[in-house]
Each structure stands twice: as C-alpha cells, then as structure tokens.
Amino acid sequence: MDRTKLERLSPALQNLIVEGDTAPASKKTISEDVMSSAHRVSEYAMRTLHHCNGGATLQAALWLKDHLANGGKIMITISGALSSFQVGVMLAELIRKDKVHIISATGANHEESYYRYVAHSHYAYIPRYTELTPEQEAELRDAGLRRITDTFLPEDESVRILEPHLLTMWKDAQDKGERYFPHEYFRRLFSDSLIECDPAGNPSDSWVYAAWKKNIPIVVPGFEDSTMGNIFASYSYDGTYREDKSVVLNQHIMKTGLEYFTSLYDWYMETAKDHPIAFLQLGGGIAADFPICVVPSLKHDLGLHGKVRDWAGFIEIGSSPMSYGSYSGAGGKEKITWDKLSTQSYYQIIQSDATAVFPWIAAVLLDL
C-alpha cells in the first residue's frame, strides 16, 4: 500500500487500518492448500451443518453436487463487491474443475477481479469500519483511500494501470470499425500479455483469469455502473462540460447489455439441449435478475412455449429482506409467478452473507 496515503490520516485513523492482506496469498490453489492438510472440510460440513442457514447451505451444496453428477451445468451470478472480497479464491477453483459454466457479474465485480490480479499487495483493510465517523470518511476520501465495506481499493495501482491499455484497445476498435463486449476488451489484457500478476498474489486466485483460460462465457450487465464503465462514458462524451476533446470515442464500439441478453438466448437454448441448468446467486441485483429472465423471455417474448427447459434449480445467498419489489429479497415462490422458475425447480434461499456461506458450498462441490 502507498504509505503516503496513510500518512495523510490522523494517527487514530491510521491505527485502525491493516496494511496488506490479512492472510497472504498462497502460491498453491485452494485444493492443494486444503488437501495437503489433515482436514476434510466437506466432511466437517456434513457433520455440523444441520439447522437453519447452516442446514440450508449444506442442502443446497449437496443438491448442486448431485446436479453436476447428473450432467447439469451451473450459472453463478456475482453481486456486491465480492471480487474485492476475494471470491476468486473459491470461484476460480470451481471454474478450473469444470463446476461452473457461465458467470454473470456486475461491471464492478468483473473489473475488481482484474484489480486484485495486478494490485493484490496494495490492498488494505479496516476491520472496525462501522465505527468510522463522517469526518474520518472524509479523511479517507482526501487521502485517496476508496473504501468498500472493510476494504480499500488501491485506485492508482489498479484502475490507472489498466486504463491506458483499455483506452488503446478502444481507440483501435474505433479506427477499425469493430465492436466488442466489455469482458472481451478486458480479456485481451491476458491474451496480449499486457498485465502481470502482483508478485504477492496468485493468478490462481483470479476468477477472470480462470474464466479466460477455460474460455467460459461471461455476461456483464450494467457495465456503465462500474469504474471503467464511468471512464469509458467520459471518453465517449462530447458535450458542453468536457474540456479535453483530444480523444472522443464512439459509444457503439462497446456492445450493450441488450446484446449480452440476446447472446444468452443462444447459450441457454444450446446448452439446455443436453444439460439441465442451475442458477447459483451470490447476492442480488442486476447480476442475477438480468440472466434469470432469459427463460421467461424465451417463453413469452420469443413465443417458445413448451420448447424451453426451465431452470433446474435456483439457490440464492443474500442478506436482503423481502420487501417492496426488491428482486434481491424476493423468494423463490415469487419467481414462479414471473415464470422465472417452475413448480418443479429446486430452490433454496439462504439468508446470510455470501462471504460466509459460499466457501462451504465450494468446499462440498470440490470434495475438500
């Protein structure tokens, strides 16, 4: 982490911050780490997770395991800031072991996995973040420390490292009259060897790196609602309030959310010919509501009634309460009324924090 930022803070605030990773990245994969020990995590889960959210977690994990054993496929959706919270440690391993077959991620989660890849050692943490005062939050802002719950995203060492590479790609696409999805531009950071993994990190902990290696599909709904999406918008703005117009991009070089959605029509129908497809939702929001709608849209908007395989199962891990029209808090039964799920679909709602629950599910799926 950049010490000059810390030195701008009051001593009291400095004392609350933990520099570097709380648990330094291993150079092994998660499977190698766990299997080299005497512990069997999945056996421990089956011995101890019986009731309430723990029981629901184990039931969901065992259902998913059986689903995969019977030729099923899994879509995972990622919301919040799970990539900053190192969801990649588990998700990347699931991808490598062919347990995950498509991912829907918010623009922020998608890009944050790249940020983790290049700047792992520059992250810092503030475990007692709930005790911060508004004045301390302003101190952090003025020092250039961007807080996401308990984690500081190192903007200078991540966002500003990737930006010039992406800008070059965007300009090149404009010159050639080409168009790509957001994740396709990002993937060239790997394929063209434009970035390197932070020496203190582990490329095996990056889910976007694993997805690139496996070439599994990614959809990024709401790309504009991300840091790099905002940056792309600024380069494509040619209005009154932009003073430097040396680079003005055409927005059409970026394929849209509508095109992501229509690509899901094809992926879903082709995949569902031979495989039932399950939906594992980590958190809520657009990352999940966007892709789950492909089934009712195929039925009702394209008129394919009777020709569309329903989602085989729906599992949501989230802390949002059921409230007034919130997708994140809507139960599985409400989704039946929208034809997102059928009465035959397995469903399980786990009212908890995905950072606490998902590791258990991953452990069971990986036979750890």
pLDDT digits (tens, 9 = 90+) for 35-60: 555 458 788 888 888 889 899 999 99
What was the pLDDT predicted at 300?
Answer: 97
> Lowest-pLDDT range, 31-35, 50-54, 301-305?
31-35
- For residue 146, the cross-strand partners are 153
> CB within 8 A of 97, min separation 6: which ones?
31, 365, 366
Task: Quickly tell me which residue has 């059928």 as its tokens.
Answer: 342
Specify the DSSP element, H or E, that contains 230: helix 227-236
Cα–Cα distances in Å, from 260 out to 117, 213, 218, 219, 224?
Answer: 25, 21, 9, 6, 14
Res. 185 pLDDT band, cuts 50 70 90: very high
C-alpha torsion 304→310→311→314, nearest 10: 120
pTM of the model: 0.90
pLDDT digits (tens, 9 = 90+) for 314-360: 999 987 767 766 666 677 788 889 999 999 999 999 988 999 999 99
Q: Report the interhelical angle of 107-119 vs 159-176 (nearest 10°).
A: 120
Residue type, 220: V
User: What average pLDDT does range 300-312 have in this prediction?
Assistant: 96
**C-beta of residue 103 within 8 angstroms of C-beta of residue 73:** no
**Residue whose C-alpha is closest to residue 281's, from 149, 151, 100, 114:** 100
- Between vectors from CA 23 to CA 84 and to CA 44, what angle results, nearest 5°? 95
Query: Phi/psi of residue 18, each to 5°?
Result: -105, 120
| Architecture (CATH level 2) of domain 33-121+154-365 | 3-Layer(aba) Sandwich (3.40)
